[in-house]
């Protein structure tokens, strides 16, 4: 068991909840940061946790705002303790081909998916270095590795996340801090399940294992990367995509 503190952005979303639940069950103190921290869905999730609920802090914050991120980190450290683990899971999509994409669509996705990684990491990395331990995990995407039609903004942001991962990993490795990326493929989430059935069948047909991934499988990978056992893994990108893209 551990009493380390983990801060998860996008923590109220479907994948964020899965990661939070996994870490709570492993004994971590978890702060789930989300714009929708006060939503009914967030309250229902918190109520459902039973024995681990006391170890969860749900906190509102805007990952696109540098000062808001600092305020969240400060509140988490005052309430739970020093942030040992950061999981950058917040993200959005604003799809469209480049010739039709607005400046706003580009900015929104780069801000939420990539700028947010800088904002959050910048506010926790010094403390991790001073204490000689830290884990940063950036949730990227298979589309940041292989690209995707209609997602120049999203694919750019997710590829940029791993570039950030590799660079920061080199800066902090000797101080006991690791930085890694996880790139999920198509997951069994409400967003994916909402696509037309014929399109979903085509997607699954392209996945060698023949199914969508489960959020708990991503959470398990995150759980390993933040553990003491993963101290020799840094600057890596873990592809969890059912074989959809291999490299």
List, by residue number, the catalytic residues.
154
Counting other chains too, the contacts that 71-79 makes at CB distance below 8 Å and 24 or more residues apart are 72/7, 72/31, 72/33, 73/7, 73/120, 73/123, 73/124, 76/5, 76/7, 76/31, 76/33, 77/5, 77/127, 79/31
d(CA 210, CA 118): 36
d(CA 46, CA 70): 24
Distances (CA, A) of 140 to 15, 87, 146, 238: 12, 11, 12, 9
d(CA 212, CA 207): 8
Q: What is the CB-side half-sphere exposure of residue 178 using CA atoms within 13 A?
A: 19
Distances (CA, A) of 214 to 51, 113, 191: 24, 21, 13
């Amino acid at each position: 068991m551990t009493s380390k503190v983990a801060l998860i952005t996008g923590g109220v979303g479907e994948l964020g909840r899965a990661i939070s639940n996994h870490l709570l069950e492993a004994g971590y103190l978890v702060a789930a940061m989300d714009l929708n921290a006060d939503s009914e869905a967030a309250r229902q999730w918190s109520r459902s946790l039973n024995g681990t609920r006391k170890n969860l802090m749900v906190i509102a914050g805007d990952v696109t705002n540098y000062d808001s991120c600092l305020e969240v980190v400060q509140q988490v450290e005052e309430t739970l303790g020093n942030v040992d683990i950061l999981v950058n899971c917040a993200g959005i999509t604003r799809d469209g081909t480049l010739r039709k994409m607005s400046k706003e669509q580009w900015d929104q996705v780069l801000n939420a998916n990539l700028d947010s990684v800088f904002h959050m990491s910048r506010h926790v990395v010094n403390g991790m270095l001073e204490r000689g331990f830290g884990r940063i995990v950036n949730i990227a995407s298979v589309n940041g590795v292989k690209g995707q039609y209609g997602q120049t903004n999203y694919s750019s942001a997710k590829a940029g996340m791993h570039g950030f991962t590799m660079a920061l990993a080199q800066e902090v490795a000797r101080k006991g801090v690791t930085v890694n990326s996880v790139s999920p493929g198509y997951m069994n989430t409400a967003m994916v399940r909402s696509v037309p059935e014929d399109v979903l069948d085509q997607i699954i047909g392209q996945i060698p294992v023949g199914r969508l991934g489960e959020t708990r499988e991503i959470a398990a990978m995150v759980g390993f990367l933040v553990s003491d056992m993963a101290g020799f893994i840094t600057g890596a990108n873990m592809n969890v995509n059912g074989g959809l893209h291999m490299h």
